[in-house]
Structure 1
Amino acid sequence: MVKLRLPLLIGLGLFIGGLALSSALKDRHYLLLSFVLLIAAMLPLFLRLERRKLEPRELVLLAVLAAVAAVSRIPFAALPSVKPVSAIVILSAYVFGAEAGFVIGAVSALVSNLYFGQGPWTPWQMFAWGMVGLTAGWLRNTGFMRSRLGLLTFGFVWGFLFGWIMNIWTLIGLPDAFSWGLVLTVYAQSFYFDLAHAISNVIFLSILAGGWIKVLERFRQKYGLLR
């Protein structure tokens, strides 16, 4: 288990280091930084090549799922925080594991922002959605995630965790001196957006879970993908 998680931990460490570097430099090369972090997100898959051959159809599957997650943001562009992305990332990781979830989450953020606009928020969204997939993959075989209530609870909790991660970027970008009062203000102001994200995750998971899991499981078993 440790050997299986080591590549993910390496990729996650590089990702966090990249976020810290971007905050320290405060440059405007956001798109370039996002692609660098994308390489860090893909690192677990590259290291997986040492254990077994990664088939082209597996890469195609990851690309398709990431594209579906990215495109799903567009119809809900007018509704802040109401997006199916988290639900799709969770269900993908539930079937294909933590590596796939981490990559799909990070790629979907980068690709969707080609439409919504790149900025200093992009690397943080890549990290946040990557962590959604990573944790869903790590917990997928637990009794908690195997129950419908547990899956919905996981999505609800991540609606808030996602917002809390993005609040860190907001705090770093503020010109005001750091204070705990400022932190409380930022997190209080994001509460309703985080709540909307959490509730929408529950709704989208309720709608998509049964069908998506069956279809993705069928693909995984039939073609032996991402085992």
Structure 2
Amino acid sequence: MSNVIALRPRSTIALAIVSVAGLLIFLWPLFATPDARLGQNADAPLVFALLIPLLMAVVLFEISEGGLDVKAVAMLGVLSAVGAALRPLGAGTAGLETVFFLLVLGGRVFGPGFGFVLGSTTLFASALVTGGVGPWLPYQMLGAAWVGLGAGLLPRVPGRWEVPLLAAYGAVAGLLYGWLLNFSFWPFAVGLGGDLSFVAGAPPWENLRRFGTFSVATSLWWDLGRALTNVVLISITGKAVLATLRRASRRAAFDDEVTFDEPVSTRHTLAG
């Protein structure tokens, strides 16, 4: 694995803080008190949708300060464009999401920092292409950023086990991504009653049970479809795409330190 975007201590801390804050934004229904305004105000998703980009901007700023050079920007641009072009092929129909396998493979080859940025830029670019810009987009960007980040943090394994590992990760990531996105609108879904509804102030395990019932009833097949799509695409294309990305990484020499030698003509003049 090549760490195309180096994570310095400051950027690592910023990434950890933003990830914890992001999880709280997604999971707040499990800890809301009975009188919590969030549980009564349907504008809360819009507030969070504005807050998430600000949090991610902090991370992107810290990352760009220490490890985002021209070659990394170029690679991000290429892979984000490819991902944006791939997403309409599935467009989420029956869970057929054709973009996440590229985030997994890109994060695996180029490292967790690159994977985090790639996930957010790819979902943003694809939303512009598909007309999917809305209050849900920041949640999707953060979820996809975590998918790429996690792929970059996977342990090293023997070559024959790498594709199966990534396929298994793609399945788990596809399911978790769907469940997290469900949390962003579940408390405010209208026309739901009984075991499907969010109850402010209920014990966390009770709301988690209700959320599980909601997810199974409304989006299980889409989430399974996304997970299966990731497994199939990574299993079929993983070996070839990994080899291509690693060859591009070697040619770009991301890991080589840039040095500036004295011009030859100057050395000859001084020697004379």
Q: Is TM (by shorter chain) over 0.5? A: yes
For the pair 1:83 / 2:91, whether they are aligned, the reply is: no
Instruction: Specify the structure having the higher radius of gyration (Cα).
Output: 2
Q: Select which of 179, 200, 214 maps to 2:243.
A: 214
Measure the CA separation in 2 of the matches of 1:198 and 1:164: 12
* Structure 1 counterpart of 2:123, one-letter code: A
From 187, 190, 194, the counterpart of 2:215: 187
Determine which of 89, 111, 116 is the counterpart of 1:102: 116
TM-score between the two structures when normalised by the length of structure 2: 0.70
Name the amino acid aligned to 1:184: G
User: Which structure ranks higher in relative contact order (CA pairs < 8 Å, sequence separation ≥ 6)?
Assistant: 2
Question: What root-mean-square deviation, in Å, do the aligned CA atoms of Structure 1 and Structure 2 show?
Answer: 3.0
Give the alignment partner of residue 173 of structure 2, picking from 149, 152, 158: 158
The offset of 1:81, in angstroms, is: 2.1
- Are 1:38 and 1:107, in contact at CA under 8 Å, matched by a contact in 2? no
Unaligned runs of 5+ in 2: 1-6, 29-37, 191-196, 200-205, 257-272
Deviations 1:120-172 (A, max 9, x none): 22111111111111111011524599532222111111111111111211224
**Which residue is 1:36 aligned to?**
54
1:111 maps to what in 2? 125
Calculate percent identity across the aligned residue pairs. 26
Structure 1 unaligned blocks of 5 or more: none
Higher helix share: 1
Instruction: Report the TM-score, using the length of structure 1 for normalisation.
Output: 0.82
Counterparts in 2 of 1:148 and 1:218: CA distance versus 1, 3 Å: same
1:205 Cα shift? Answer: 0.7
TM-superposed deviation, 1:48: 2.4
**CA positional deviation for 1:33:** 5.0
Post-superposition Cα deviations, 1:35-75, rounded to whole Å, max 9, x if no partner, equal 435423424522424xxxx4312111112212211221112
Aligned residues: 221
Moved more, 110-119 or 190-199: 110-119
